[in-house]
Amino acid sequence: MVLSAILIADLLLVIKRPHVPSPKESGLWVGFYVTLALIFAGLMFLIAGADAGGEFVAGWLTEYSLSIDNLFVFVLIMAQFSVPRRMQQRVLMIGIILALLFRGIFILLGAALIANFSWVFYIFGAFLLVTAAQQAFSGREDDEERESKLIGFLRKRIPITDEYDGMKMRTRIDGKVFFTPLLIVLIAIGTTDVIFALDSIPAIFGITQSPFIVFTANVFALMGLRQLYFLLGHLVDKLEYLKYGIAFILAFIGVKLVLHALHENELPFINGGEHVPVPEIDTWTSLIVILVAMAVAVVLSLLKIRREGRYLPTAIIGGGGDDDKEVAAAATAAAEVESTETRSER
């Protein structure tokens, strides 16, 4: 109930005060939500015990890292469809609500499968290993290509305008009904949410089988994602090694799931239906691996940015007016410097 109330309050804030938050405001909100998650983790340690607390922290960190990757796709969608700044908060909130809805559905399905079929861990593990390979070896160009195909598919089948009409998905031009680009944006975001829900739910079930911990970890991971977009939207694309850190985490959890499946094996064609004596990875080992993987990926990315001397604007989206002009001018200057350096290297 408390988590739902916080999400509803955040939604009402967007509706009543539609604005582009400053980096300071975004940072304070992100800090607030992270603090809430840590307080909740502390309560889990005190009330449910160390194992449950460790499972929540490990699950929250895993889901948070996947949410950051999800955030990059949101950034890509917003840029590709030129969503006006004044609309981005509401679009993001819709995306977050859809993500929570889809994850809730997959949590229920995953819990039901686990309760009835122990062999489903083999499928979850294999799925995460494949996902990890795709994460590591597919480029951002693949995301752009998929979005371009989506645009082409929709534009051939329904009349879509080039201009937005606020948050309306349909508008009238010369008496004729047209869809606005907002329809494509919401379809793209909804599709992204489904894909990431498919990735994230098996990942966290590899850490804990408690539906309560799975759900709360997902909720806390999604809290503050809207503010994180405005705080780090410009930086996510520059964290070049982040996807490798996430891929490593997914692969690690995939291996953990396969080991767990072997340990609980009931399939007759594997070891005669008997449990396979393999080592299992405990929660604290998982937590350490997740922390180290994310820390190494972020630190290496920041070191590369510093080594190459690339400019990092204070926000991808300013609050309007002179600040926007300064950020745009700085970004343009940085692009010119990078372009000059590239030509000199050639």
Q: Of 12-26, 196-210, 232-246, 262-276, which range is least confident?
A: 12-26
Pick 161 or 13 by higher pLDDT: 161
> H/E element holding 90?
helix 85-116
Please give the average per-residue pLDDT across 159-175, as a whole number. 82
Residue 332: its pLDDT value, please? 42
Mean pLDDT, the chain, integer: 78
Higher local confidence (pLDDT), 127 or 333: 127
Question: Measured in Å, how far apart are the chain's first and last C-alpha atoms?
Answer: 59
| In the predicted structure, residue 272 carries a pLDDT above the cut 50 | yes
Task: For 124-154, give one letter per residue: b (16+ CB within 10 A) or e.
Answer: bbebbbebbeebeeeeeeebeebbeebbeeb
Query: Does residue 251 have a pLDDT over 50?
Result: yes
Q: Residue 172, Cα to own-chain centre: how many angstroms?
A: 35
Q: Which of 201, 241, 242 is nearest to 218 (CA)?
A: 201
pLDDT interval class at 56 (50, 70, 90): very high
User: What pLDDT score was predicted for residue 248?
Assistant: 92
pLDDT at 68: 79
Q: What is the DSSP letter of 292?
A: H
Query: In the prediction, which pLDDT does 310 show?
Result: 57
The 10s digit of each residue's pLDDT in 102-153 is: 888 888 888 888 888 878 889 988 988 988 888 888 755 555 555 566 667 7
When pLDDT is averaged across residues 60-76 and rounded to a whole number, the result is 82
DSSP sequence for 194-250:
HHHHHHHHHHHHTT---HHHHHHHHHHHHTTHHHHHHHHHHHHTT-TTHHHHHHHHH
What's 264's DSSP letter?
T
Q: Residue 4's pLDDT is what?
A: 62
pLDDT tens, position by position, 210-244: 888 998 898 888 887 877 877 776 566 677 788 88
pLDDT band at 41 (very low <50, low <70, confident <90, very high): very high
Q: Which residue do the tokens 């008496």 mark?
A: 175
Task: Please tell me which residue, 99 or 238, carries the higher pLDDT value.
Answer: 99
Confidence band, pLDDT 50/70/90 cuts, at residue 13: low
Residue 60 confidence class, pLDDT cut points 50, 70, 90: very high
Distance of CA 67 to the CA centre of its chain: 2
pTM of the complete model: 0.74
Give percent of the chain with pLDDT exceeding 70. Answer: 77
298 or 328, which is more confident: 298
